[in-house]
Structure 1
Amino acid sequence: MGNFLGAKPKLKQVDEFVQKYWKNIDRPIVQYYKKGWYSFRFLSAHDMNEILKVGPWNMGSSTLVLKQWTPTFSKEMDSISIVPAWILFPDLDPFMWSENVLSKMASVVGKPLFADLPTTFKFKLSFARVLVEVDVADDLPTTLQLTSPYHGITQQRIIYEWLPHYCYCCRKLGHTNEHCKFTKINKKFAETVQAKKVVQEYRPVQPAVTPPATVAQDSECHVPG
């Protein structure tokens, strides 16, 4: 499953993008799912992993975030926060470049998927690179503590190659709270309510003044005899 962070392309554009840049695998079937999500049906798990290893993919000003489908995806798609991300372990001792050790180290961050080819075959020893499923809604660690038989307890740095923005207001990827439309709507509503708020003032009620009673007089004066 894939979602474009930024401008949403049309299905034809996505299909042309796949045909142009995913040449090292059999062409997958691309379909529009819903709510901005696209499905990519690969012919094998190997093809899917080959694409995940190279991502994330950029298409113009948009970034394609891919996530493996699960039976609960439809329920989680509106508040999805777990995405694959590449993490780097710089200046890692060569004797720790085993699949078992790297997997345990990456588990501190999230669910390890696989290492890239230079890490697997130790072509570049300046850093180890592992793809991990991380929850961007959490506070991700930037260091981890290692216990080495040669160096004792040391602090290992963790570098995140790329992480998408996450909004805690609407629980979606691609923007932060400050740029969330719901935050702006709520702020505008609060300002409107504040402007229209009526302040009641106490005003004492003045008692009504009753005019004095008048007696009607006849035109002739009656004198008792």
Structure 2
Amino acid sequence: MGVPGRDKIVDWFPALEISDKKYEKLVKRWNKSVIVRMLGRPISYRLLCDRIAYMWNPKGKYSIVDLDDDCFLVKFTEEGDYLRALLDGPWVIQGSYSLVQPWTPNYLRGANDLTAVAAWVRFPGMPLHLYHKSVLRRLAALLGHLLKIDYNTCSKKRGKFARIAVELDLTKPLVPFVYVKGKRQKVEYEGLPRICYVCGLYGHVQEECLNKENSRSHSMNEKEKGDEQH
């Protein structure tokens, strides 16, 4: 008879098995949580508690957990409080910016790399008749996970661009364009200035891209092949 929690051996070590259904329940409990990281000097747990109560003024209950990598986890019960923390920044505490990112099951304590972020995304010049929730939800799914649709987009009060808030996976390239009904539609990311449109990754610009030479060589090879065919 197997021992609970030790029903499998991997590489000679006991392994804990968790069913997909149980794992989903465990993750769901933390869905409305954010990771707060100070850009600059660290701050104390007490100071952060005071500042969050003042800056975010949460309407529902929330809890703050101090992690061992100078980061904090803030768990909300209300969706509105969660979205305000993510989208209404930037937030400044004692002269230093605080980076607020959505918590994900893949978050690793002690890792300083930014892997997920909530950002407003614009679709400039998109035809007004496409300003519909069903279309915007499908566009969001092409980029990440939809968090919110801008009210002015829903009500069609502004026609310069459609605007949605999306949780982006920064381990994957960000796309500068999508195609809507066969036509190319530009995508703009608010608050993410360091995007490389060579490799599509966040954190550096085109001039700093390590893949630039590879991309240039690939483009030249493709051009040479095309010339040979003609």
Q: Same fold (TM over 0.5)?
A: yes
Distance 1:113 1:127 in 2: 18
Is 2:74 aligned against 1:40? yes
Aligned AA (1:44): E
RMSD: 3.0
Equivalent-residue separation in structure 2 for 1:48 and 1:105 (angstroms): 22
When structure 1 is superposed on structure 2, of 157-166 and 14-23 the one drifting more is 157-166
**Residues 29-69 of structure 1: per-residue CA shift (max 9 Å, x gap):** 22312212211122333432343342453433323222135
SS at the partner of 2:174?
A: coil
CA–CA separation in structure 2 for the residues paired with 1:159 and 1:49? 20
Partner of 1:96: 130
Q: Percent identity?
A: 22
Q: Give 5+ residue unaligned stretches, structure 1.
A: 148-152, 167-172, 177-225
Amino acid in structure 2 at the alignment position of 1:134:
L
- Contact 2:69 2:110 (C-alpha < 8 Å) held by counterparts: no
Q: 1:162 aligns with which of 158, 168, 191?
A: 191
1:113: Cα distance to partner?
2.0
Residue 78 of structure 1, CA deviation: 5.4
Query: After the TM superposition, which residues 124-143 of structure 1 pair with which residues of structure 2 at under 5 Å, given as runs?
Result: 124-143=158-177
Q: Residues 1-225 of structure 1: matches in 2 within 5 Å?
A: 1-7=34-40, 8-23=42-57, 25-26=59-60, 28-59=62-93, 60-70=95-105, 72-74=106-108, 77=111, 79-147=113-181, 153-163=182-192
The 2-side partners of 1:117 and 1:77 are apart by 35
Q: Tell me what 1:189 maps to.
A: none
TM-score by length of 2: 0.59
How much has 1:125 moved relative to structure 2? 2.2
Structure 1 or 2, whichever has the larger Rg, is 1
Structure 2: tracts of 5 or more residues without a match: 1-33, 196-201, 205-230
3-state SS in 2 of match to 1:34: coil
Q: Work out the number of aligned pairs and report it.
A: 164
SS in 2 for 1:73: coil
